[in-house]
Amino acid sequence: MLPPAASGLSVHKFGGSSLQCGYSFLRVANIINEHANTGDWIVVSAAGKTTDKLLGIAEKYIKSPQDAANALNELQTYQQSLAAVLPEPYLKRFHQILTKDISLLASLITAAEPRPLDQWLCYGELWSAHLLTLFLESLEKQAIFIDAREILLLTKKQISYKLSPQQLAQKTPLFKSSFKISTGFIASDKHGNTVTLGRNGSDYSASLFGKMLNARRIIFWTDVSGIYSADPRLVANACKLSQLSWRTAELLAESGSSVLHPNTLVPLADSNCEIIVKNSRLSKEAGTIIARGKVNKENIVSRSKNYGLITNSQHMAIDESHIAFDFIVSGSKTVLIRNEYINCYDTNRYDIELVDILLICGSAEQLPLFLKEQELDVLHLHSNPDFCLLITATPVSDQQYALLHEMVCMAQEDSIYQSKEETGDFSHAALSVS
C-alpha cells in the first residue's frame, strides 16, 4: 500500500538553475535538512545546462565524432566540479558512477547505429540524483537514490495512471525512514526503454509523485522568489504574487511559460495537494501559493518565444504530445508545436512558421493600440473576460514585453497607453488546449 496522506508527506522539486555548482548542491542539501521531513520525496533536474550539453553531443556525434568526444570530456569535467566539495569517500563513489556512465556515452558516439535521443538525455537527472543523495549522506542524513524509470511508465506515449502507482507500491523498501531522491524528466515505456517528459519535465515528475503519494504539498524550488506578473529577469518592475489561482496557473503552463511544465497541474486536478513556488537562494522568503479558492484579481503578462505554427496540418503526421494548441482557420486545422519539439520535424516537409505567444491576464482595453503602435502582426487572438491569448508572427522583443507589462499590470495613471482613441477590434479564433 502507498503511504497514507495523514503522514504529511511533501514533495520538493529542485530545478537545474538551483543545482548549477557544487555549493548549490550543498545549499539544496541544507534546504532539505531545514524544510523537509524524513520520508519526503525530492525530485531533481539536471544540473545547470547539462541537458543542453547532452543534446549538443547527441547532435554532433554523427557528423563529427571527435567534436562530440571533446564535448563529452567537457561535460565530465563539469560534473566532476559539482562533486569537488564532497568529502571522501563520497567523492570517490560519485566518480565511479560518473566514469561508468561517461564510458557508456563514449561507446554511443562510436556505435554503428544511432541511438534514440532519450538514451542520451537521461544522464543529467541521474547524475543530479546520485550527487544530491551523496551530499545528504555526507551530512549524516539517510537518503536513497531512486531512478524514476522504475516507477513512471508510459503507455501510448502517456503516463499510465494505473501501472505507475502499481510500480510505486511494489517498491516497499523505499518507504523506510529516509529522504527519497528521485530523478525528474525521465520515465520508461512498456518495453523498458527510456523516455523523456519534455522540457521542464521534472515539474511533471514531481506532480506525478505528489498525486501517487497523496502528498500534502509540493514545493517547486526555483531561482526566483515565486511567480511574478512578468518574468523578473526581463522586466525590472515585475511584481511577485503571493497567490495565484489554479486556472491562471493552468493558463501559464499551457501557454509555454517557463514557470511550470504544461502538464504540471494535470495529475493534481482532483487532489487537495498544496502547490508552492519558492526561491532556493532565499529559502526563508515566502513564495507563491497556487490556490484553488478565490483569489484577488491577477494581472500577468507572459511571453513564450519560437513556437512552430503549422497550417493545413490535418494530413500531416504530428505527435499529439508536441502540440500546445490547435484551432481552425478558414476550414483548415492549424497547430502550434512547442518550441522544444520543432527540431523533430523536417522543414522540407513541414512548413513551420516561428511565432511568439502572449498571455495577458488583466486589463487589455488598450491592447489594440499597443499592437498597432508596436507594429506587432497578430495571427490569432482568443479572449474572454479573464484572459487574452495572442499568437504573433512578429517576434516580441524584451522591450515590447516590458511595455506590455506596464500597460496591463502597472498603475493606470502611470501607463503610457492611456489613450481614449478608438482602438478597433479583433476577430477571435477559437482556440483549444491540447
Regions of the chain short of the pLDDT cut 50: 1-6, 412-434
The residue from 183, 199, 223 where one domain ends is 223
Tell me whether residue 95 is in a domain: yes
Residue 418: what pLDDT? 36
Whole-angstrom distance, CA of residue 240 vs CA of residue 94: 38
The residue from 223, 245, 264 where one domain ends is 223
Q: Is 122 helix (H, G, I), strand (E, B) or coil?
A: coil
Tell me whether residue 320 is in a domain: yes
Tell me whether residue 46 is in a domain: yes
With a CB cutoff of 8 Å and minimum separation 6, the contacts of 285 are: 225, 226, 278, 279
497523496: which residue's cell? 214
- Each residue of 55-94: b (16+ CB within 10 Å) or e? bbbbebbeeeeeebbebbeebbebbbebbeebeeebbebb
Count of domains in the chain?
2
Q: What is the DSSP letter of 121?
A: H
Give the CATH number for residue 121.
3.40.1160.10
Tell me whether residue 263 is in a domain: no
Tell me whether residue 281 is in a domain: no
Residue 174: what pLDDT? 64
Residue 60: what pLDDT? 87
Together in a domain, 328 and 194:
no
Give Cα separations from 109 to 248, 336, 343 (angstroms).
44, 33, 20
Give the CATH number for residue 397.
3.30.2130
Together in a domain, 201 and 314:
no
Together in a domain, 150 and 34:
yes
Q: Are 185 and 202 in contact (CB under 8 A)?
A: yes
- The model's pTM is 0.88
Tell me whether residue 205 is in a domain: yes
pLDDT tens-digit readout, 6-35: 358 999 999 999 999 999 999 999 999 999
Tell me whether residue 294 is in a domain: no
Task: Give the domain extent around 347.
Answer: 300-433
Residue 199: what pLDDT? 78
Whole-angstrom distance, CA of residue 169 vs CA of residue 51: 30
First to last CA, the chain: 33
Together in a domain, 314 and 406:
yes
Residue 386: what pLDDT? 84
Q: Is 101 helix (H, G, I), strand (E, B) or coil?
A: helix
pLDDT tens-digit readout, 399-422: 999 999 999 987 543 443 333 333
75: its cell numbers: 561535460
Tell me whether residue 425 is in a domain: yes
The residue from 192, 208, 223 where one domain ends is 223
Residue 312: what pLDDT? 73
Together in a domain, 217 and 89:
yes
Residue 5: what pLDDT? 44
pLDDT tens-digit readout, 321-330: 888 888 877 7
Distance of CA 91 to the CA centre of its chain: 29
Whole-angstrom distance, CA of residue 170 vs CA of residue 61: 39
177: its cell numbers: 525512514
Together in a domain, 320 and 420:
yes
Give Cα separations from 337 to 196, 324, 420 (angstroms).
17, 6, 37
Together in a domain, 87 and 182:
yes
CA angle, 15 as apex, 14 and 18 as ends, to 5°?
Answer: 80
